[in-house]
Each structure stands twice: as structure tokens, then as C-alpha cells.
């Protein structure tokens, strides 16, 4: 004879279930069962069933409920009347909840993983649904239902830990994926999933599971994972022996254990001029990062018209700070505004990045989402600089962003990357034209200070025709430098078209500046 509380409330006699009808009858039975063997006062029963507003007939109704419940048990002495109330006396472990609590307590006190697995499975099998599921409408029952639900959660966690200790990590992965999707903020469950994946030789997926939880906590709750989970991520990155199951060692897939350090930055501009304020701003952004406990990816979105010097600035700064990124530097020209329509899609870029990070071709996934997931996992916990040059829009950039702190991204584009600033917290940096002194210094550095000093009017006209755009000035200087004995007199009539009339979507140096440089150096 037993009262079942772990699901709908009912009674079993000789293994056969006997239903109980009526919310308050079930409530009375549940209260007596939760205090089996002890007296529950009439006042407490009335308050639990009717709360603050019992009817005038509450005592008579309660006596009728007791008579009904005795008939369900088939034994009058199952419920006895003892001042100041009633007691349920049907022997030891009068409820399924009591049996479950005993089994869970025994597992908690034992270090025998195999025996604990048996105990915990038996305990969890007693749950037929949410505890006290058909009496939670009574206020007092809500607290008891929560307590028993937490007991079930504890048992599930303990069972997973016992199975992990037995080496059942591979078998646990599908179940843990389901549980983490049902409980997206439950850190212990995500920790079990990370450990199971790692012990299955799937380090990259374990790290990606951490990043998924971290994103959910940050975006939905505004918090970071616990220090324990962060430490687990660090141990996974270091292949800490403490994570290995007893008597075994973990073999990690080649993609996850690679130590390749990419160095993809192109040659920096030799004669970089000006941009002191912009360089200081980039330095300040970098100073926000904390290599010991990075909080987020730092992104700088550099924008400006064609030829303004975005790439030159990004590469100059990247080379200047490269030694602060011991895990490497990745670079790609996204060709966002190429006239030939050869814009790079994220799939191609991710494949090239994964190749640079040492992932064998046969292990690179087929889809963008899978590649991005592996890419983020490989970069987790690393100090790496990523330069995304000449982007068309944010959609081209977003799959290429690392998922965790420690990495810094510099993205350049002719367009204002407003969405990147709004959603990813990028730091906007818009470039303006060079000042006149900076433009003269650039030409002097390219063609010689003596020529600039000897022909100031011609130099000023070149600067004006090229609209102080660094790329246009560099092209003009390059042509002049190939004719060191030529003068730089005034420009011919063909240069009369103002540079500012050139469309901002042009992908080559402004033609006016090219004509100007030809006219200036042809004589």
C-alpha cells in the first residue's frame, strides 16, 4: 500500500492503482502522505486546503474527505484520528517520494558509480510526470511540488555524473543535447555536455557548446558563465589530464589539437602618413581587452570613401601590435566593391581561415554555420587578430567574427557598418581626408622633399586635384617617381573634372587623379 505523489496523486494497493477524485480530497491525501506517520492538525489541513477562506462547513467536509480516503485504501486504520488531527499510517516508505529520496540519499553517500547508476535510474523511474501535478492549484502544494522537482533534477545530474564516471560519455551526448536545449541557461547541464563531448574526442564541439551558452547568458540575461564553467573551458583548451575518465586518456581530433599560428598580414605601407588620432583610438580599443579574462571580442569598424586609406591604416596598426597576438593574425580582402563581381562569400573565407588554422581539408564542414562554429571553437581562448578588409556589408562580416574574448577584429568598408556597431558593439572609426601638410608629406616621402620644395604650386595643384585622397596621391607620386628628372607643372585641361564628382562606389583609384598624375609627370 502506497501513496504516489511523483505525478498524479493516487493510491496503489497490492500494485494496483486506485484513483482519487476531487482536488481537495487529493490535497488532503497528499498532505497526510508528505507527513506520513506523524499527526497533521486539523487547523493545518483546513488552512492548506482552503487557505485563508475556509467555508463554515470545513470541519464536516474534512471528516467526509477522511471517510472517502479510508474507503479508497480499503482499510479503516490507514488514516487514524488522533488529537489534534489525523495521521497516515500505512507502514514505512508510505510514498513513492520517500523511496526516491532514500535511493538518491544512498547515491549521494556512495562512490560506487555502477551501484549509483542503478539506484538513480530506479529513483527517476518513479516519476510519472511533474510531482503533485493535479493538486498544484492548492497554494501549499506549489512549494512541495518545487521541492520534489528539484529532487528530480538532482537525481538526473547525479545519474549523468555517475555515467560519465563509468565512461558512457559518447552515449550521453544526444541526451545532454536534448536536456541543454530544454534548459538553455542551466550551467551544470552544459558543463556535463562539454565534458561528454571532450571525452568523446570532440574538443571543438565542446568549446562551441560553451560559446553557445555564453551567448545565451549574455544576450538574454546580461551575465557571464560561472567561474567553474570558465575554468572547465580553460581545462578543455589545455587538455587537462584531470578531465580524462579514470584509467583512460582523451584522444582529440586533429582539427581541435592543431597549434598552427597563422601570420597572414600583407606588407604594410612603407610611407604611412598622419592618422595619429585614429591610431590612438585603435590603441585605446585594444587597451580595453584583458588577456587573462577576456569578456568580449573587440571590433573596430573603419569606414570611409574609396582611396581614403582604410586598408593602409588597418595594416599599419595591425603590424604595430602584431606581437601582442601570439596566436596569430588572419587577413582577408573581402573584395566588397570589386567591379567584376568577385566579392568573397563567407563560406570561401571561412574555409581559407580554417586551412590557415591547420584544419585538414577533409575535416572542414560543408555549410557556413558548421564552418563558423568550428572557427569560433578553434579561436576560443586564443589571442588572435583578424583583419577583414574591404567588406561590402555586415552580412559578409558577421560569420567571420570570433565568438569569445581575447580576439580583436578590424573591419574596413566604404559603408558605415552601423549594424555591427549596434549589435556587436563595434567601435566606429570614420576616416577623413588628409590635411594639406600630411598630403605634402606623403608626396615628399614618395618623390623626394627636394622636388616638393622646388615646385610648391604644382604640388599644391596635384593635392587639390587628388582631393587629398591618400591612394590618389600615392598613384600620382608613383608616376612622378618613375620620372625623376621631369617637372611637375600645372595640370592640363584633361584634369579639370573635380575628383569629388567621382562616384563613391568606384573600385579603382579616381580616374581624375590618375589623369592628373599622368599630366603632371608627362613633361
Q: Which strand (E) or helix (H) includes residue 330?
A: strand 329-333
Percent helix / strand / coil, the chain, rounded to 5: 55, 10, 35
- pLDDT above 80 for 299: no
Comparing C-alpha atoms, which of 476, 477, 469 is closest to residue 444?
477
In the sheet that holds 329-333, the strands lie side by side as 329-333, 385-391, 408-413, 298-303, 427-430
- Return the minimum-mean-pLDDT range out of 134-143, 212-221, 388-397, 469-478: 469-478
At residue 500, the pLDDT reads 32
What the block records as the C-alpha cell of 494 is: 584633361
Q: Of residues 175 and 504, which shows the higher confidence score?
A: 175
- pLDDT greater than 70 at residue 300: no
Distance CA 349, CA 335 (A): 11
**Residue 253 in this model has a pLDDT that exceeds 60:** no
Asked if residue 459 has pLDDT above 60, the reply is: yes
Q: At which residue does the C-alpha cell 479503516 appear?
A: 76
pLDDT at position 339, please?
72
pLDDT at 394: 87
The Cα-based distances of 396 to 145, 412, 418 in angstroms read 50, 12, 14
Domains of the chain (ranges; CATH) run 1-163 (1.10.10.10), 167-257 (1.25.40.10), 276-430 (3.40.50.300), 436-521 (no CATH)
44 pLDDT above the threshold of 70: yes
Say what the pLDDT of residue 312 is.
85
According to the model, what pLDDT value does residue 5 have?
95
What does the pLDDT read at residue 488?
52
Average pLDDT over every residue of 217-228: 90
Q: Which range among 35-44, 397-406, 422-431 has the greatest average pLDDT?
A: 35-44
- The residue-averaged pLDDT of 250-256 equals 46
Query: What is the rounded average pLDDT of the residues 255-274?
Result: 70
The DSSP 8-state label assigned to residue 456 in this structure reads H
Beta strands in 20-122 (DSSP E): 40-41, 79-82, 85-88
Contact 321, 298 (CB under 8 A): no
Task: Please tell me the distance from the alpha carbon of residue 223 to that of residue 33, in angstroms, as a whole number.
Answer: 41
Range with lowest mean pLDDT among 32-41, 272-281, 288-297, 310-319: 288-297
CA distance 338 to 336: 6
Q: What is the mean pLDDT of the chain?
A: 81
Spatial CA neighbour of 118 closest among 70, 84, 166, 186: 166
Indicate if the alpha-carbon torsion angle 426, 432, 434, 437 is positive or negative: negative
Cβ contacts of 304 within 8 Å, gap of 6 or more: 310, 414, 430, 431, 432
Give residue 393's pLDDT.
87
State residue 392's pLDDT score. 86
Q: Which grid coordinates belong to 291?
A: 588577456
Q: What is the pLDDT of residue 308?
A: 82
Q: Is 315 helix (H, G, I), strand (E, B) or coil?
A: helix
Asked whether residue 439 carries a pLDDT value surpassing 90, the answer given is no
In this predicted model, which residue has the larger pLDDT, 517 or 479?
479
pLDDT class of 504 with cuts at 50, 70, 90: very low
Q: Which of 5 and 293 is assigned the larger pLDDT?
A: 5
Q: Please report the pLDDT score of residue 497 as a whole number.
A: 31
pTM (two decimals): 0.50
- Angstrom distance (rounded) from CA 490 to CA 505: 29
- Mapping DSSP onto H, E and C, the string for 346-404 reads HHHHHHHHHHHCCCCHHHCCCCHHHHHHHHHHHHCCCCCEEEEEEECCHHHHHHHCCCC
Q: What is the pLDDT of residue 292?
A: 44
Highest mean pLDDT among 193-207, 252-266, 424-438: 193-207
Quote the pLDDT of residue 419.
83
Whether the predicted pLDDT of 172 surpasses 80: yes
Give the percent of the chain with pLDDT over 90. 32
Alpha helices in 394-523 (DSSP H): 394-397, 418-424, 436-447, 449-454, 456-465, 470-481, 511-521
pLDDT at residue 263 in the model = 86
Q: What is the DSSP string of 196-243?
A: HHHHTT-HHHHHHHHHHHHHHIIIIIS-PPPHHHHHHHHHHHHT-GGG
Is residue 37's pLDDT more than 80? Answer: yes
* Lowest-pLDDT range of 48-57, 116-125, 157-166, 193-202: 48-57
What Å distances lie between residue 231 and 3, 251, 374, CA to CA?
44, 20, 20
- Non-local (6+) Cβ contacts of 127 within 8 A are 6, 7, 100, 152
Q: What is the pLDDT of residue 298?
A: 60
**How many Cα neighbours within 13 Å face the side chain of 28?**
27
pLDDT for 125 beyond 90? yes
Residue found under cell 573591419: 411
Candidates 360, 381, 329; CA nearest to 208 is 381
Cβ neighbours of 82 (radius 10 Å): 11
Cell (9 digits) for 444: 615628399
- Between CA 121 and CA 123, with CA 122 as vertex, the angle to 5 degrees is 90
Q: How many CA atoms lie within 13 A of 314 on its CB side?
A: 32
Q: How high is the pLDDT of residue 367? A: 84
Residue 482: predicted pLDDT: 64
Residue 257: predicted pLDDT: 42
**Cα→Cα distances 466→102, 291, 308, 473, 500, Å:** 85, 43, 11, 6, 9
For residue 25, name the pLDDT band (cuts at 50, 70, 90): very high
Amino acid at each position: 500500500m502506497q501513496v504516489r505523489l511523483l505525478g498524479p496523486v493516487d493510491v496503489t494497493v497490492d500494485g494496483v492503482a486506485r484513483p482519487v477524485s476531487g482536488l481537495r480530497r487529493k490535497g488532503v491525501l497528499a498532505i497526510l502522505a508528505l507527513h506520513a506517520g506523524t499527526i497533521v492538525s486539523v487547523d493545518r489541513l483546513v488552512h492548506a486546503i482552503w487557505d485563508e477562506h475556509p467555508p463554515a462547513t470545513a470541519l464536516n467536509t474534512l471528516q467526509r474527505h477522511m471517510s472517502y480516503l479510508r474507503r479508497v485504501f480499503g482499510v479503516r486504520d490507514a488514516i487514524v484520528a488522533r488529537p489534534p488531527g489525523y495521521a497516515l499510517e500505512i507502514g514505512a516508505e508510505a510514498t513513492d517520494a520517500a523511496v526516491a529520496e532514500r535511493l538518491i540519499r544512498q547515491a549521494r553517500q556512495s562512490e560506487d558509480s555502477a551501484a549509483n547508476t542503478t539506484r538513480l535510474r530506479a529513483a527517476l523511474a518513479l516519476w510519472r510526470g511533474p510531482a503533485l501535478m493535479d493538486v498544484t492549484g492548492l497554494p501549499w502544494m506549489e512549494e512541495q511540488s518545487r521541492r520534489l522537482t528539484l529532487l528530480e533534477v538532482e537525481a538526473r545530474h547525479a545519474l549523468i555524473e555517475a555515467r560519465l564516471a563509468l565512461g558512457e560519455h559518447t552515449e550521453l551526448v544526444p541526451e545532454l543535447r536534448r536536456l541543454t536545449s530544454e534548459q538553455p541557461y542551466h550551467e551544470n547541464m552544459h558543463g556535463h555536455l562539454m565534458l561528454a563531448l571532450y571525452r568523446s574526442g570532440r574538443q571543438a564541439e565542446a568549446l562551441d557548446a560553451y560559446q553557445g551558452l555564453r551567448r545565451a547568458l549574455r544576450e538574454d540575461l546580461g551575465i557571464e558563465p560561472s567561474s567553474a564553467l570558465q575554468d572547465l573551458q580553460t581545462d578543455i583548451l589545455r587538455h587537462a589530464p584531470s578531465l580524462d575518465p579514470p584509467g583512460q586518456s582523451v584522444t582529440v581530433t586533429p582539427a581541435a589539437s592543431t597549434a598552427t599560428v597563422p601570420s597572414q598580414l600583407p606588407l604594410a605601407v612603407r610611407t604611412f602618413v598622419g592618422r595619429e588620432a585614429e591610431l590612438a583610438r585603435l590603441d585605446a580599443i585594444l587597451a580595453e581587452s584583458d588577456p587573462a579574462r577576456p569578456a568580449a571580442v573587440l571590433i573596430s569598424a573603419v569606414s570611409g570613401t574609396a582611396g581614403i586609406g582604410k586598408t593602409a591604416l588597418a595594416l599599419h596598426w595591425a603590424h604595430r601590435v602584431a606581437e601582442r597576438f601570439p596566436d596569430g593574425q588572419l587577413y582577408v580582402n573581402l573584395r566588397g566593391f570589386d567591379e567584376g563581381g568577385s566579392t568573397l562569400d563567407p563560406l570561401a573565407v571561412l574555409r581559407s581561415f580554417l586551412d590557415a588554422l591547420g584544419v585538414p581539408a577533409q575535416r572542414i564542414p560543408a555549410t557556413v554555420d558548421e564552418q563558423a562554429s568550428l572557427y569560433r571553437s578553434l579561436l576560443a581562448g586564443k589571442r588572435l587578430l583578424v583583419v577583414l578588409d574591404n567588406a561590402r556589408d555586415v552580412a559578409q562580416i558577421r560569420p567571420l567574427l570570433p565568438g569569445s574574448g581575447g580576439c580583436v577584429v578590424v573591419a574596413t568598408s566604404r559603408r558605415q557598418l552601423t549594424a555591427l556597431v549596434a549589435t556587436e558593439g563595434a567601435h566606429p572609426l570614420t576616416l577623413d581626408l588628409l590635411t594639406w601638410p600630411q598630403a605634402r608629406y606623403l608626396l615628399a616621402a614618395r618623390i623626394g622633399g627636394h622636388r616638393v620644395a622646388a615646385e610648391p604650386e604644382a604640388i599644391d595643384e596635384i593635392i587639390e586635384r587628388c582631393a587629398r585622397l591618400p591612394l590618389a596621391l600615392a598613384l600620382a607620386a608613383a608616376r612622378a617617381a618613375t620620372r625623376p628628372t621631369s617637372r611637375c607643372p600645372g595640370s592640363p585641361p584633361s584634369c579639370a573634372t573635380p575628383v569629388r564628382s567621382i562616384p563613391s562606389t568606384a573600385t579603382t583609384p579616381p580616374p581624375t587623379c590618375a589623369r592628373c598624375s599622368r599630366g603632371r609627370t608627362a613633361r
